[in-house]
A and B are shown apart, each in its own frame.
Chain A
Amino acid sequence: MNSLDRLIEEKLQRELQAKTRRHFIKDCVAGMGGLALGSLFMSCNSFLGNNDKARITLTERDINPLASMAPPFPAKVKSVIYLHMAGAPSQLEMFDYKPTLHKLNNQACPQSLLEGRKFAFIRGVPKLLGPQAEFKQHGESGNWVSNFLPHFSKVVDEVAFLKAVNTDQFNHGPAQLFMHTGSPRLGRPSIGSWVTYGLGSENQNLPGFVVLTSGGKTPDAGKSVWGSGFLPSVYQGVQCRSKGDPVLYIDDPKGITRNLKKSTIDAINNINKKEFNEYSDPEILARINQYEMAYRMQTAVPEVMNINNEPEHMKEMYGVQPGKESFANNCLLARKLVEDGVRFVQLFDWGWDSHGDSHSNAVDLGLRNKCTEIDRPISALLLDLKQRGLLEETLVIWGSEFGRTPMQENREGKEMAFKGRDHHGDAFTMWMAGGGIKKGASWGLTDEIGFSALEGQVSVHDVHATMMHLLGFDHEQFTFDFQGRPFRLTDVEGHVIHEILA
């Protein structure tokens, strides 16, 4: 480097140094002034606020984010019970009867079905696997239910089937997210969050969105399936447990009496009220309200979560096991929660991933046991809601993240020890029951082996649109502004499934 270059270099450095200082003062005067002016105006506002309270108009939602709001359109239902069987139960052993598949049992799957397709585990040419259950038509509707669900087949006239639900995800995590948030990627609010955000909750002492898991595993997608995404976090699902403390740390700590707790909260609230009188920030009121609600919840939640006081015949009907974590207990709890005005109750069961890699994951053995576990509770739930006059204002949804293949799984191309089926999202079964649902309806038709939809294919978005419709929303209008654009549960898709509406 010659001296001239060095001189130029030095000159540039100097210039840059000078610029960093001067730039700020010279170029940013207008900007700084603007900022200052902005805050001047703002402080003006809060200054006036001190003298003139009327200037601040508080909505009910400012103070209580769970205050109930009217839906845009008259709603058919006011609460939802969503029964999710994580792992994906086989529709071919439960609801979608395919006699042809029976005939084709053990035959090689035609190439046309495999070309250009990717399965989670199936490799090469798998064999078709006939239904492992016996099917019969039930009720006045004549809908098909297998002998895996003997109790449910008695209440089949209460529900409407969707036989050709379609998802584009074939792994549990993303598919569960898609089913519960409308997007297979993280970050969107769950259905329950949307609903509690839109409608609030009736009971002041309970959360608006309660999640119950059957113990053991939680869904693969994690807690995001009941998360609030970009909605305020008050709308996320509250996980309650049927064993131990219903909500973690809900008990008063040792040595703290209820009265002491009350006076502590009163003292904090008094300070907060003074703070509000000074600054008029509605956030403070919301905080006061949250403290009070938490205090009330401490007694209300354990009360509603206690199933021991239910009469014996009720416990028998649901098949509950007090003191344990079970799907049956959760079904009974779901009824109690809805009865007490909880807006959205989300149940997760697990162990439905019938790959055929073990006894419990076999479609003829383990699946049957899983069916027995849910058969009585779900049937009891429907009947119990009905006799209490709650079914007409509740929407009960049963489903999973996807369904299973008509082909027998051949993991790594080898025959497996047990009969199993791989993940399959082209056409699987869900059902809905309750207010606004056409009883005994069945919509959607799959081909002879149950591989893809022939008629009435509905998407996950369509299911969401239908739920929103029943709750009094137009899914296209119900949005939340985030990152500069309005977001909705159904993204840019979704059609209400009129075929299953009364």
Chain B
Amino acid sequence: MEVIQQLIGRLHPLVVHLPIGFIIAALLLQWYDRKNKEWSKILGILFQWAFIFATIACISGYLLYKGEGYSFDTVKFHLWLGIVTALFSLLMYLRLSASSKIDFIKRVPVVLFSFSLLFLISFTGHLGGNITHGSDYLIEPLPNSIKSILGVGPEVYEMPTLDEDNWEDAVLYTDLVQPILNNRCVSCHNAKKEKGELQLEEENGILRGGEDGVVIEPNDPEKSALYARLILPLEHEDHMPPKDKTQPSIEEIEIIKTWIAHKNSFDKTIGELGLKKELFYAFFPKEKDDTYPNVAVAEIPVDTIAALKNKGFHVERLSEESNFIKISCINKPTFSDKDFDSLSSVRNQVVYLDLGETQITDAIFEKISTLPNLTILKLDNTGVTGKNIETLEKLEYLKNLNLMGTNFEEVHLPKLKKFEKLQIVYLFNTPVKKPDHVDKPKEGELFVDYGGYNLPKIATDSIVF
């Protein structure tokens, strides 16, 4: 019997479309027939059918609600409005049918019924859709710009975070476990939807478990469905979250495991549980890698890169995700100042330029100063002397300058100190004299590496034991 009930219940999404169709058809016909009034009889029949099927839909809907574990809160408006829709179809039928004995209905204007039905059918249908597809179903595909106008911003998954300073004071359950559950599980296992009769919104629900019993065996993650189902193969029928939903990260799964393995305490802090920091790395806010400028640049067309490579340049993207490139003349020792012009097509994207061991002269500085995002510049083992190097001052991201093995002259050194972002200059093997004492650079100050390190001979060098 239960099976039949469930089956009828599951036919609800199909059956509901019959009254919808009849009501819409009848309303359209009513509009079409508003002057001639030729189709009144047909209209009556249509509303009669609408009433019959709306009633069936109500019954099947009720069975669906009973059979699939929806909470009453979720379905109540849809349920009541469904019944009201059936009722209004009946009233409309009675209003239209000639044989009706109920007088007071005849006095109500038909238009009132029509508009009520139009409203009811749209709104009830929408509520039903919300239950099956989720309330964000229609908004979800919209572009983010429109979403933000509607005030429903894009759903961004935010990993719970810990604070570097007081991570040990965070309560494992409150600050990590529950946020992870909220993000990954609660959309189905909540008081409204309660799939598998399981609620994971708060302590009581978690401890109560679902239709297959409790989901936590304290201290035994492997036997706890809450953990064990997460690590089943994705294709496995029992894998959670379902295959098509976003999956928790390895670190998040590890947190759930640790939590269960430590008696699934709801109030102990990480420190009290004596857990190691290693477990939580993923949850500390990431330090941004600010080596390279934080500016967006256009992607370089493939054939532009190919053309540069054909000219002998070594071209490499910074990473698969970045449009910035590194350029090196390692395979092009003949590079000279005039060859620089072939780089103009990618001047915004070059962040790393290695012109070491090439034929460049001091005229190169002015050309290099046209690369706005340049961060690392290597001019080592070339003939530059530093004349005109001040033109590089306008490179606002230049951090690292290698002049090792050049003829760089000491008189130009003070110019480099004016460069705003420049952090390190390599001057090993240049005419610049190394001062007797080099101070350790302060934070944000330019460090000049004069090189010339040596390892003085010591007595033990030649002792053989």
Contacts and interface: CB of A to CB of B under 8 A. Distances in A.
Chains A and B are bound partners? yes
Interface of A: 60, 68-75, 150-151, 154, 202-205, 313, 316-317, 319, 340-341, 364-366, 368-369, 372, 376, 379-380, 383-384, 386-389, 392, 472, 495, 498
Given A73-B319, A372-B463, A389-B404, A341 B289 contact: no
A72 B455 contact: no
B378 A389 contact: yes
Given A74-B292, A368-B465, A383 B455 contact: yes
Contacts of A369: 464-465
B465 A203 contact: no
Given A368-B465, A379-B455, 18 more contacts: A68-B314, A70-B322, A151-B458, A202-B314, A202-B328, A202-B331, A365-B465, A366-B465, A376-B455, A380-B455, A383-B454, A383-B455, A387-B452, A388-B402, A388-B426, A388-B451, A389-B402, A392-B400
A231 B461 CA distance: 43
Given A365-B465, A376-B461, A388-B404, A74 B426 contact: no
Interface residues of B, number: 37
Given A70-B317, A73-B321, A341-B328, A388 B380 contact: yes
A387 B449 contact: yes
Contacts of A366: 465
Interface string B397-417: 000101010000000000000
B157 interface: no
Contact of A498 (B281, B328, B455): B281
B211 interface: no
Given A70-B319, A74-B318, A383 B331 contact: no
Contacts of A150: 458, 460
Nearest to B289: A74
B252 to A, nearest CB: 15
B104 interface: no
Contacts of B463: 372
Contacts of A154: 455
A2 to B, nearest CB: 58
A60 B461 CA distance: 50
A60 B460 CA distance: 53
B455 A71 contact: no
24 contacts: A60-B309, A68-B316, A70-B318, A71-B320, A74-B289, A75-B319, A154-B455, A203-B331, A205-B331, A317-B453, A341-B328, A365-B465, A368-B465, A369-B465, A376-B455, A383-B454, A386-B453, A387-B404, A387-B426, A387-B449, A387-B453, A388-B404, A388-B428, A389-B424
Contacts of B328: 202, 341
B330 interface: yes
Contacts of B316: 68-70, 202
Interface of B: 278, 281, 289, 291-292, 309, 314, 316-322, 328, 330-331, 378, 380, 400, 402, 404, 424, 426, 428, 449, 451-455, 458, 460-461, 463-465
Q: Top 3 nearest A-B pairs by Cβ distance?
A: A387-B451, A70-B317, A383-B453
A449 to B, nearest CB: 23
A376 B462 CA distance: 11
A340 B320 contact: no
Contacts of B460: 150, 372
Contacts of A379: 455
Contacts of A316: 454
B113 to A, nearest CB: 62
Nearest to A458: B278
Given A68-B316, A151-B455, A74 B291 contact: yes
Contact of A317 (B404, B426, B454): B454
A389 B449 contact: yes
